[in-house]
Amino acid sequence: MQDFLSITGMVMKVEPIGEYDRRIVILTKERGKISAFAKGARKPNSSLVAATNPFSFGEFKLYVGKTSYNIIEANISNYFEELRRDFEGAYYGMYFLEIADYYTRENNDEREMLRLLYQSFRALLLPSLSNDLIRYIYEIKAIVVNGEFPGMSTDKGYLDSTAYAVDFIMNARIEHLYTFTVTEEVLSELKEIATGYRTKLWDKKFKSLEIIEQVRYNNRHV
């Protein structure tokens, strides 16, 4: 008797396997980060073509094999198509996926990271918020969710507004994270805080971040 599993999650990574198949990594609500095979997903007429692309969020039905998961069907509720069409926004999305992939593990409770990822993608579609602010909020909250954020430094002399913003990021429900804007001075201090902790805590270089920073540099020097 075959074992089937229904999970909710977001596709984080995709790689081709053979001529027509794909191997994808999904961050799920039920089983943390998992890898699954999607047979025939690279065929143009496959129902899994779009569902097995990064950013796709929804429900996946899997066949549980002895050594792997195999996707049978998918019901995608959000492809984040607008984000895919936005060059800069898409790279921010890929950067967020890289961070989630860095932190998460199979069979861990990763529901908070999945919620953070989904709400951050939604925030990238809001014209009222800058991508940089979303990025610093995401970086700080990811560190908080994973129990590594040591709190604000008391000897740096940050603005009270910055201290308030960081306290809000630390303690707010994820669904309420992206409900504020800041001044340029506060944004600059949030950048310093997020960059400092990212450099100190993360022993990995993120390809998408390198591209984002290169694009930013090029735009400033046009």
pLDDT in tens, 3-38: 889 999 999 999 999 999 999 999 999 999 999 999
**How many angstroms separate the most distant Cα atoms in the chain?**
64
Q: What is the CATH number of the domain that holds 55?
A: 2.40.50.140
64-79 pLDDT, tens digit per residue, is 888 889 999 999 999 9
Q: Rounded to an integer, what distance in angstroms lies between the CA atom of residue 86 and that of residue 60?
A: 26
DSSP SS3 for 174 = helix
The residue out of 63, 78, 93 marking a domain boundary is 78
Domain with 58, as residue range(s), is 4-78
Pairing of strands 4-17, 21-28: antiparallel
Looking at residue 66, its pLDDT comes to 81
Question: What is the rounded average pLDDT for all residues in the chain?
Answer: 94
Tell whether 149 and 166 lie within a shared domain: yes
Handedness of CA 38, 39, 44, 47 (dihedral sign): negative
164-222 pLDDT, tens digit per residue, is 999 999 999 999 999 999 999 999 999 999 999 999 999 999 999 999 988 877 777 55
